[in-house]
Amino acid sequence: MENKNITVVVGLSGGVDSSVAAFILKEQGYNVIGVTMKVCDPVKYPEAKKSACFGAGEEEDIEKAQQTADLLGIPYHVIDLSSQYESIVIDYFTAEYLGGKTPNPCIRCNALVKFGLLPEMTRKSGIPFDFFATGHYVRVAFDEKTKRYLLKKAVFTKKDQSYFLSLLTQDKLSNVIFPLGELTKEEVRDIARKAGLPSAEREESQDFYGGEISDLFKGKDASAGSIKTLDGKEIGKHTGIYNYTIGKRRGIGQTTGEKLYVVGIDSKTNTIIAGDEEQLYGNSLTVSNINWIAIKDLTEKRECKVRIRYRHDEAEAVITPLENNQVGVVFKERQKSITPGQYAVFYDGDVVLGGGVIE
């Protein structure tokens, strides 16, 4: 089938990456349609600035996306997912923190909203298409031997975003296109400049939420509590466990003069547990709710590399299948700040085996 007979919906964020993705697809002859998902209710979250994924300044993103679509001569639509986003992402985010865990809203958003509800609601809006595309720095391939779609790291590994897409299912991977998978960030910017795209020099949004995180916990049970050492000695007070994550040091141990870190969070007693740096290290963890990509299931022990957060260097480990879609991970070397609620992603070279939530 010729590209001109293939319709691709591109998720436009107003940023340079998605804009260039749309430009490349248009240049390749595809019938391109731009869509932007509206996720923030500005009335409910007026203080959330839009230097992040979620914020009340979303109109600026929509304006940039519309300008890009106009320049490229492609249809453009805004899909309002604000109510669904709140229940799927915001409620999850606050519940995880109040449960003593550290969530990753980006991974959840990608799996359930950006690659889930957005294409689904686009179709329901009467916009038919063949493929869905984004400006993520990843690659997708089909393994003829296993008959499975593979999620692979970007060639430009510095910008690789495979960690954030580790929950994408075979069904989703079967009809996605990632035009930036083999490009560097500077190459993308150069393309944008030469094409005269309005987002060419636009900075990236680095944070999840553009306001004070405490805004999201208004009206929720996020009371102050104690900071204690591992032996139960109280050394201070905290203003809400949602302000803390494993490995955090600021505000810990100031009354004792010691160099202490958050080594545990007990949501049942609303207590932050403090310890020294040595107590942050561990060599094992359990991962649940696994989404396998390159393999159908893990049936025996195997060696691979594991990433336990986005900025973590993959570490060599042995993974073992457990019951109830869980995996045991034992690292060859101890790792710092293994954090419940974050995602562990398993790699075989540049191929994502799968990923799940750290217990």
pLDDT surpasses 60 at 50: no
Looking at domain 223-275, which of 2.30.30.280, 3.40.50.300, 2.102.10.10, 1.20.58.220 is its CATH number? 2.30.30.280
Per-residue pLDDT at 18 exceeds 60:
yes
pLDDT in tens, 182-210: 999 999 999 999 999 999 988 876 667 66
Average pLDDT estimate for 27-53? 82
| Distant-in-sequence, close-in-space partners of 208: CB < 8 Å, separation ≥ 6 | 52, 53, 54, 93, 105, 106
CATH code linked to domain 3-135+179-209: 3.40.50.620
Domain with CATH 3.40.50.620 in the chain: 3-135+179-209
Radius of gyration of the chain (CA): 22
Task: Tell me the pLDDT tens digit for each residue of 271-330.
Answer: 999 999 999 999 999 999 999 999 999 999 999 999 999 989 999 999 999 999 999 999
Domain with CATH 2.40.30.10 in the chain: 281-358
DSSP state letter for 158: G
How does the average pLDDT of the chain come out, rounded?
93
Number of helices and strands (H, E) in the chain? 8, 19
Every domain range in the chain assigned CATH 2.30.30.280: 223-275
pTM above 0.75, yes or no: yes
**Number of other residues whose CB lies within 10 A of the CB of residue 176:** 20
The architecture in CATH of the region 281-358 reads: Beta Barrel (2.40)
Q: Which of 158, 150, 181 is nearest to 349 (CA)?
A: 150
Task: List pLDDT tens digits, range 126-160.
Answer: 999 999 999 999 999 999 999 999 999 999 999 99
Residue 231 has pLDDT above 80, yes or no: yes
Residue type at 342? Q
Is 244:253 a contact under the CB 8 Å cutoff? no
Mean pLDDT within 11-34: 98
pLDDT digits (tens, 9 = 90+) for 63-96: 999 999 999 999 999 999 999 999 999 999 999 9
If pLDDT is split at 50, 70 and 90, which confidence band does 251 have? confident
Here the tokens at position 238 are 């905290």
Q: What is the 3-state secondary structure (H, E, C) of 92-116?
A: HHHHHHHCCCCCCHHHHHHHHHHHH
- Name which residue leads in pLDDT, 234 or 216: 234
Which helix (H) or strand (E) element contains residue 190?
helix 185-195
